[in-house]
C-alpha cells in the first residue's frame, strides 16, 4: 500500500525548498504527497524578498479538508511563520493522535531571511513540540530554541539534542551540517540515548532546501513503518545522494537546489542528470 504524507509548510516558487521540495522528496521516497500552505514567499536561489502569510483559519481549513477525506500516514511541519498559524496547526493535529509528525523548525532561510516570528517560538515549543515524533533542528535552530550558543563540537551537539528532547519531543535529530571540518554528522536523541549518523561533507554550494528535503524523507520513511533509526539512516543516505548530484542541475546563480530525483533521472551515458 502506498502511504500518504502531508506537508504543512511554505511555498518556494523557485522549487528548491518548502512545499515544492517536500513533494519532490515524497515522490522520490515512494509515498503520495499532499500539501497545506502556510505562506507564500517571493524567493529564488539568491534569497527571500517577500513573504505573504496564509490566514491561520484557512491553514486550519486546509488541514481539516485533507483529514476529512484522506488517510494520513505521516505529517511533516515546516515553515509556520507566526504564533497564530502555529496555534491553528496544533489545534487541528491534536485531534489526530498516533500519526508520526516530523517537526522541522524552519527559522532562517539559506540567504539569511527570518522565516519564524520570535513570538511563534513559544507556541512551537509549548504546543507543537509535544505532538512531534521527531524534531529536526540544525545547529543554529537548536541554539535558538534553547537560547544558548551554537554548538561547535559533537559533545555540545549531543547535549543540545538531549536538552531539546527534555522539552517534550519523543526524539530529536540535531543536524551537524554547520560544524567545521570535512564531516557532517547528525545526532539522534531518543529515550535509548544518543545515536550518531555519519556522512562526509560534500563540496558544493547547491544546498538550497536540504533541511526541507531531509525532514520530508524522514516523514516518508516513518509513514512506511520504519523505526526512527532506520528512517534517519535512509533519509540521510538519500539526502547525501541528492546533494552529491546537485551540481548536475542548472538552477539559478545562488544556492541551487539539491537533485531530488538523482536515483531516477539519468543521461544516455548512465550518469545522474
Per-residue pLDDT of 129-188, as tens digits, reads 999 999 999 998 999 899 999 999 999 999 999 999 998 878 999 998 777 778 889 999
Task: Compute the distance between CA of residue 215 and CA of residue 232 in angstroms, rounded to an integer.
Answer: 9
Q: Give the model's pLDDT for residue 232.
A: 97
Mean pLDDT of 110-126: 77
Query: In the chain, pLDDT over 70 holds for what percent of residues?
Result: 94
Residue 6 has pLDDT above 90, yes or no: yes
Query: In the chain, pLDDT over 90 holds for what percent of residues?
Result: 77
Q: Give the model's pLDDT for residue 7.
A: 98
Residue 271's pLDDT band, with cuts at 50, 70 and 90, is low
Mean pLDDT of 90-116: 84
**Residues with Cβ within 8 Å of residue 189, at least 6 apart in sequence:** 158, 161, 162, 164, 165, 171, 172, 173, 174
Residue 124 has pLDDT above 60, yes or no: yes
Q: Give the model's pLDDT for residue 81.
A: 87
Q: Give the model's pLDDT for residue 92.
A: 98
Mean pLDDT of 191-209: 90
Comparing C-alpha atoms, which of 164, 93, 79, 84 is closest to residue 119? 84
Residue 245 has pLDDT above 70, yes or no: yes
Q: Give the model's pLDDT for residue 168.
A: 82
**Pairwise pLDDT comparison (63 vs 207), residue with the higher score:** 63
The residue with cell 532546501 is: 209
Torsion sign, CA atoms 229, 232, 234, 236: negative
**Residues with Cβ within 8 Å of residue 37, at least 6 apart in sequence:** 9, 10, 11, 19, 54, 59, 62
Residue 9's pLDDT band, with cuts at 50, 70 and 90, is very high
CB 241 within 8 A of CB 266: no
Task: Compute the distance between CA of residue 60 and CA of residue 85 in angstroms, rounded to an integer.
Answer: 8
Angle at 71 between CA 68 and CA 75, to 5 degrees: 100
CB 246 within 8 A of CB 258: yes
Q: Where are the alpha helices (DSSP H) in the chain?
A: 18-28, 56-69, 83-93, 118-123, 139-146, 154-165, 210-223, 228-244
Q: Give the model's pLDDT for residue 102.
A: 98
Per-residue pLDDT of 220-232, as tens digits, reads 999 999 999 999 9
Residue 272 has pLDDT above 70, yes or no: no
Please list the active-site residues: 175, 207, 209-212
Q: Mean pLDDT over all residues of the chain?
A: 91
Q: Give the model's pLDDT for residue 188.
A: 97
Q: Give the model's pLDDT for residue 113.
A: 61
CB 174 within 8 A of CB 236: no
Amino acid at each position: 500500500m502506498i502511504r500518504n504524507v502531508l506537508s504543512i509548510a511554505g511555498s518556494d516558487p523557485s522549487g528548491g525548498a518548502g512545499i515544492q521540495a517536500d513533494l519532490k522528496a515524497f515522490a522520490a521516497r515512494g509515498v503520495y504527497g499532499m500539501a497545506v500552505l502556510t505562506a507564500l514567499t517571493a524567493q529564488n536561489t539568491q534569497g527571500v524578498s517577500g513573504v505573504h502569510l496564509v490566514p491561520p483559519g484557512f491553514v486550519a481549513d486546509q488541514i481539516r479538508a485533507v483529514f476529512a477525506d484522506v488517510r494520513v500516514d505521516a505529517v511533516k511541519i515546516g515553515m509556520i511563520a507566526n504564533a497564530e498559524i502555529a496555534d491553528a496547526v496544533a489545534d487541528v493535529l491534536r485531534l489526530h493522535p498516533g500519526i508520526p509528525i516530523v517537526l522541522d523548525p524552519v527559522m532562517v532561510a539559506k540567504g539569511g531571511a527570518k522565516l519564524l516570528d520570535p513570538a511563534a517560538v513559544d507556541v512551537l515549543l509549548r504546543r507543537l513540540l509535544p505532538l512531534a515524533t521527531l524534531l529536526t533542528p540544525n545547529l543554529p535552530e537548536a541554539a535558538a530554541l534553547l537560547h544558548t550558543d551554537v554548538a561547535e563540537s559533537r559533545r555540545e551537539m549531543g547535549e543540545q539534542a538531549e536538552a531539546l528532547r527534555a522539552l517534550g519531543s519523543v526524539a530529536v535529530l540535531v543536524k551537524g551540517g554547520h560544524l567545521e571540518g570535512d564531516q557532517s554528522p547528525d545526532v539522534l536523541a531518543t529515550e535509548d540515548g544518543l545515536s550518531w549518523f555519519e556522512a562526509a561533507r560534500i563540496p558544493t554550494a547547491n544546498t538550497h532546501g536540504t533541511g526541507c528535503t531531509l525532514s520530508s524523507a524522514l516523514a516518508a520513511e516513518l509513514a512506511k513503518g520504519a523505526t526512527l533509526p532506520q528512517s534517519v539512516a535512509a533519509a540521510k543516505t538519500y539526502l547525501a545522494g541528492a546533494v552529491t548530484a546537485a551540481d548536475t542541475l542548472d538552477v539559478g546563480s545562488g544556492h541551487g537546489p539539491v537533485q531530488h530525483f538523482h536515483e531516477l533521472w539519468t543521461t544516455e551515458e548512465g550518469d545522474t542528470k
